[in-house]
Amino acid sequence: MLRNINHILSLVLIFNTVFVISQTRETDSIVKILITAKDDTSKVNLSVLLSKKLHNIGELDASLQYAKNARDLAIKLNFKKGEAKAYNRIGNICMDYGDIPAALKNHEAALTLRKEINDEPGLASSYNDIGNSYYTQGNYLKALENFFASLKLKEKLKDEKALTSVYNNIGNVYYDLGNFKEAIKYHSLSLSLAKRQNNKNGLASSHNNLGIVYYGLHKYRQAIIHNLISLDICKEIGDKAGMARAYSNIAINQDQLGAFEESVKNCFYALEIHKEIGDEQGQEMVYNNLTVAYFNLGKYKESEEYGLMSLNLSEKLGDLKGIKESHQALYNLYNAKEKYKEALYHYNKFIGVKDSLINEENTKKTVRLEMNYIFQKKEVADSLRVADEKKIVAIQLKQEKIQRFALYGGLALVLIFAIFMVSRFRVSQKQKKVIERQKKEVERQKELVDEKQKEVLDSIYYARRIQNALLASDNLLKQNLADYFIVFKPKDIVSGDFYWATKNNNRFYMITADSTGHGVPGAFMSLLNISFLNEAITEKGLQKPNQILDHARSRLINALKEDGSEGGGKDGMDCTLLAFDFYENKLEYSSANNSFFIVRDQELIVYPADKMPVGKSPRDSEPFTYNTIQLQKNDIVYTMTDGMQDQFGGPNGKKFMNKKVRQLILANCSLPLREQQRAIESAFDNWKGELEQLDDVCLIGIRI
């Protein structure tokens, strides 16, 4: 997949060059028209258009000059709509220069003018741009306040293209606040609208933002797919800033997948474009990405260099989010270099900025902003209904020929309106009381849920104590085995995997088993399996491993056949049952879907299993196979379940597989067993990394 990504990235650079040539021709034609145009409103609009075209191809200085020309001419002509457009353009260019205060100043100027002339589409645009400025500063509350104001107007105007943008912006804020569910909701709304309109800019932005959310959810391959779609669209429309963002996002996902060299390469692609278009904000983000990538490559010198560049630039821009990420990356670097004084300094700075960006009060305020937006939508609908009623009354008044009746009608209208207002006030008061009651009820229900959750967890922890008591104890194992180790890692609090042992008739029995399921259901099955094994050996006096498994299978099938499922219960276990006869140095065994190994003289010997479980299956009438092995001194017997082999991880997110387990065992078989245990646990943890553990893990080594 990474090879395909690099192929696409190289093609992008070629296509982007072609686009820039076509855009340059278009700007040249607009310049020619401007030279001969009169100083009127059309020249203002042309200058604004040319500024936008130049901005799109990264010519920021020229773009800014034409925007200022448009502003000055609009002021001279008292053309307020054109003046507002010019301020808007200047604000957007200042954003790409990284001068957020200047961007805010110009967007606020545009907003004031648009309020004066009641330009609702322009107001919606200004609120959105102001929200973007506050978002870049890390001021999430102000950002959401303006985004929701923009959203309210855009929904009123039914401007679907503009809605695409504001949905994306709201999604970005929720992502930064860690609310991934709401982030996906708003980005998906944006993507749906963009697809319906075939809005290329909207599609590129939505795919890019969904990629960012999936990165936050640790779904890195899914994130790269969205990043590549965004990159392809940006290439098609010549959006350099969008291309740079896509390269950056691909890089951070490659970094998480362990493709550090590829990550660095794509960081530099992004950095080159950000520098070309003068985007300091983008440069700061890439510097931080390079800090992390070089850290992962073990190139601490380069990591420190880019980390300090990122911190200096984010402080210059006043970007709280960038400052936070820079301090976090430098903390990790200095901690790894054992420079603990510097590490502590950056850690304290990181925590301070993080707390100022995201805290409980901010989260509550963002919820209130969205609720206020929803309430205002309802309020607008009510106002429209009232307006309709006024029109009906006005028509009736016109039909009255006598002024006295008209006067009475007017008084009646005032009275009706007063009654309506009183009624609305009462309704609002009732709604307020209902909301307060609902809030108290929600809080009470939350307390009940928390209490029930605690009861459930307490019960599960108690169940773990019971399960641990039934596993083979250290005392029993030490009395009967010369040397051994056990790697036991349940996925949840309780486990479907188990190991159990007992001694009977001069044989020491030991089983390594994987019951159906994991967690609580798996734990119940493990208790049932242990019960039937114990019954077969201690109560029925069965000695051969195959007879014991046959008995356990029969008891399981009979016990579960009335469980309500179609065809009766099919639960059971895969296992290896060993019976050691230490007097004759012989090992008897039977295995159900679970092979095991013996390492003898640095050679690994695999002992196969019957291809059927201890439980209901198409072969449940066949007896298990009885096998014997003559043991030798210093043989090491390894039994295990399939949890380690099936674990996803490593640089490419693949399964560990049986081959790696065998290689791991052979690589460490000459070590003392306790050191083998540490090596196996370390290898598993490193492979898993930050990914979720998929199943219970159990692996046992026994030296003869």
pLDDT tens digits, residue range 440-476?
A: 776 777 777 677 777 767 767 766 777 777 788 888 9
> Residue 386: what pLDDT?
43
Which residue from 593, 696, 577 is spatially nearest to 626, judged by alpha carbons? 577
The secondary element (H helix, E strand) that includes residue 590 is strand 586-592
Tokens of 681: 């646990």
Task: Return the percentage of the chain with pLDDT > 70, whole number.
Answer: 84
Of 170-174, 355-359, 461-465, 497-501, which range is least confident?
A: 355-359
Confidence band for 378, pLDDT divided at 50, 70 and 90? very low
**DSSP symbol at 610:** B
Average pLDDT of 506-534? 88
Average pLDDT of 164-174? 88
Fold observed for domain 471-703: Phosphatase 2c; domain 1 (3.60.40)
Per the CB < 8 A criterion, the answer to whether 167 and 154 are in contact is no
- Higher local confidence (pLDDT), 343 or 528: 528
Per the CB < 8 A criterion, the answer to whether 16 and 240 are in contact is yes
Average pLDDT of 319-337? 86
- Higher local confidence (pLDDT), 698 or 348: 698
The secondary element (H helix, E strand) that includes residue 592 is strand 586-592
> Residue 547: what pLDDT?
95
> Residue 502: what pLDDT?
93
Give 273-309 pLDDT, tens digit per residue: 989 888 888 898 899 889 988 998 899 999 999 999 9
> Residue 654: what pLDDT?
85
Whole-angstrom Cα distance, residue 320 to residue 438?
36
Average pLDDT of 70-80? 92
- Higher local confidence (pLDDT), 314 or 396: 314
Confidence band for 568, pLDDT divided at 50, 70 and 90? low
**355 half-sphere exposure, CB direction, 13 A CA radius:** 6
Per the CB < 8 A criterion, the answer to whether 492 and 521 are in contact is no
- The yes-or-no verdict on residue 509 having pLDDT over 90 is yes
198: left (phi over 0), alpha (psi -120 to 50) or beta: left
Whole-angstrom Cα distance, residue 546 to residue 386?
84
Confidence band for 405, pLDDT divided at 50, 70 and 90? low
Give 241-262 pLDDT, tens digit per residue: 899 989 999 998 998 888 889 9
Whole-angstrom Cα distance, residue 575 to residue 659?
20
- The yes-or-no verdict on residue 316 having pLDDT over 50 is yes
Q: Token match 């039934």: residue?
A: 470
The secondary element (H helix, E strand) that includes residue 78 is none
Average pLDDT of 610-619? 92
> Residue 68: what pLDDT?
94
Whole-angstrom Cα distance, residue 374 to residue 122?
22
Q: For the CA atoms of the chain, what is the radius of gyration? A: 35
Burial class (CB in 10 A: 0-12, 13-18, 19+), 208: buried
Give 637-671 pLDDT, tens digit per residue: 999 999 899 888 888 888 899 899 999 999 999 99
Whole-angstrom Cα distance, residue 45 to residue 52?
11
Confidence band for 114, pLDDT divided at 50, 70 and 90? very high
Confidence band for 51, pLDDT divided at 50, 70 and 90? confident
Confidence band for 398, pLDDT divided at 50, 70 and 90? low
Give 547-556 pLDDT, tens digit per residue: 999 999 999 9
Confidence band for 417, pLDDT divided at 50, 70 and 90? low
Which residue from 412, 375, 405 is spatially nearest to 390, judged by alpha carbons? 412
Average pLDDT of 677-698? 90
Three-state SS sequence of 346-409: HHHHHHHHHHHHCCHHHHHHHHHHHHHHHHHHHHHHHHHHHHHHHHHHHHHHHHCCCHHHHHHH
- The yes-or-no verdict on residue 191 having pLDDT over 80 is yes
- The yes-or-no verdict on residue 581 having pLDDT over 60 is yes
**577 half-sphere exposure, CB direction, 13 A CA radius:** 31
Q: Phi and psi dihedrals of 602, rounded to 5?
A: 65, 15
Average pLDDT of 502-506? 88
> Residue 18: what pLDDT?
37
Q: Going by C-beta distance under 8 Å and a sequence separation of 6 or more, which residues neighbour residue 426?
A: none
Domain ranges of the chain: 400-464, 471-703
Confidence band for 545, pLDDT divided at 50, 70 and 90? very high
> Residue 161: what pLDDT?
79
Whole-angstrom Cα distance, residue 292 to residue 28?
42
Report which listed range, 215-219, 378-382, 498-502, is most confident.
498-502
> Residue 341: what pLDDT?
84
* Cα dihedral 337, 338, 339, 340 sign: positive
Confidence band for 399, pLDDT divided at 50, 70 and 90? low
**Strand ranges inside 490-559, DSSP E:** 497-504, 507-515
- The yes-or-no verdict on residue 66 having pLDDT over 50 is yes
CA 489 to chain centre: 26
Which residue from 49, 39, 130 is spatially nearest to 78, judged by alpha carbons? 39
- The yes-or-no verdict on residue 364 having pLDDT over 70 is no
- Higher local confidence (pLDDT), 413 or 182: 182
Of 36-45, 293-302, 617-626, 690-699, which range is least confident?
A: 36-45
**Identity of the residue numbered 477:** L
- The yes-or-no verdict on residue 701 having pLDDT over 80 is yes
Which residue from 638, 637, 607 is spatially nearest to 704, judged by alpha carbons? 637
Which residue from 655, 664, 660 is spatially nearest to 691, judged by alpha carbons? 655
Whole-angstrom Cα distance, residue 54 to residue 269?
21
DSSP 3-state of 63: helix
> Residue 383: what pLDDT?
45
Tokens of 216: 């936050």
**DSSP symbol at 647:** -
- The yes-or-no verdict on residue 26 having pLDDT over 80 is no
Which residue from 527, 522, 472, 494 is spatially nearest to 702, judged by alpha carbons? 472
Three-state SS sequence of 120-170: HHHHHHHHHHHHHHHHHHCCHHHHHHHHHHHHHHHHHHCCHHHHHHHHHHH
Mean pLDDT of all residues in the chain?
A: 83
- Higher local confidence (pLDDT), 398 or 203: 203
Q: Phi and psi dihedrals of 421, rounded to 5?
A: -65, -40
- Higher local confidence (pLDDT), 461 or 357: 461
Of 5-14, 52-61, 218-227, 456-465, which range is least confident?
A: 5-14
> Residue 412: what pLDDT?
66
DSSP 3-state of 576: strand
- Higher local confidence (pLDDT), 474 or 431: 474
Q: Which alpha helices (DSSP H) does 177-319 contain, by range?
A: 180-197, 200-216, 220-237, 240-256, 260-276, 280-296, 300-317
- The yes-or-no verdict on residue 240 having pLDDT over 80 is yes
318: left (phi over 0), alpha (psi -120 to 50) or beta: left
How many helices (H) and strands (E) the chain has is answered by 24, 13
Confidence band for 590, pLDDT divided at 50, 70 and 90? very high
- Higher local confidence (pLDDT), 389 or 658: 658
Average pLDDT of 190-199? 89
Average pLDDT of 88-106? 91
- The yes-or-no verdict on residue 400 having pLDDT over 60 is no
Per the CB < 8 A criterion, the answer to whether 240 and 277 are in contact is yes
> Residue 563: what pLDDT?
62
> Residue 201: what pLDDT?
86
Q: Token match 């639960």: residue?
A: 571
